[in-house]
């Protein structure tokens, strides 16, 4: 794939799902990795928080964010995942206690091929952004006060959806 090319458009298939169940299904798959990497997982995701999302796509976005958090904490640390229904709809935050992201990289973070890793294509966060935007949402990145980085996915509740690229 060249910088100019885009993946084929895929229609999304939203379904009503308990967000905690969705997040737990992804996090459970990382249990062994968290142990090996000395990463503590703190989940603050209430059950019975029902949302209309494409669960396959949203799981992929969650996996990309967890993968990035693991890579940001090579000596171990804490990954905190929180969710709530806020002013702008559903908010899901993935906050790690890793090394953080430079201001220079933050400006290009959601551009294709923006990466500091030699063995990565730099497309993971582009995919996250495309998936969240396909649900009419947005992604924000902030520094955590105690160090590390927080990615917050904001998805309107009960809005129309577009196709993901």
CA angle 127, 53, 152 (to 5 degrees): 55
Phi, psi torsion values for 71, nearest 5 degrees: -65, -30
CA angle 51, 53, 56 (to 5 degrees): 130
What pTM, to 2 d.p., does this model score? 0.83
Q: 19, 90 in Cβ contact below 8 A? A: yes
Residue 116 has pLDDT above 60, yes or no: no
Smallest CA-to-CA distance from 70 within 104, 97, 106 is with: 97
Q: How confident is the model at residue 4 (pLDDT cuts 50, 70, 90)?
A: very low
Residue 106 has pLDDT above 60, yes or no: yes
């Amino acid at each position: 794939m060249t910088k100019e090319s885009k993946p084929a458009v895929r229609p999304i298939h939203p379904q009503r799902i308990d967000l905690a169940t969705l997040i737990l299904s992804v996090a459970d798959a990382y249990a062994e990795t968290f142990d090996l990497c000395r990463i503590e997982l703190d989940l603050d995701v209430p059950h019975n928080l029902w949302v209309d999302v494409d669960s396959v796509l949203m799981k992929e976005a969650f996996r990309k964010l967890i993968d990035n958090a693991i890579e940001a904490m090579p000596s171990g640390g804490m990954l905190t995942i929180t969710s709530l229904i806020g002013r702008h709809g559903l908010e899901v935050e993935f906050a790690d206690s890793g090394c953080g992201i430079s201001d220079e990289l933050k400006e290009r973070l959601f551009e294709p091929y923006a990466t500091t890793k030699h063995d990565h294509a730099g497309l993971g966060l582009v995919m996250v952004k495309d998936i969240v935007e396909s649900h009419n949402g947005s992604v924000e990145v902030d520094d955590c006060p105690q160090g590390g980085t927080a990615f917050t996915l904001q998805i309107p509740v009960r809005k129309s959806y577009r196709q993901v690229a």
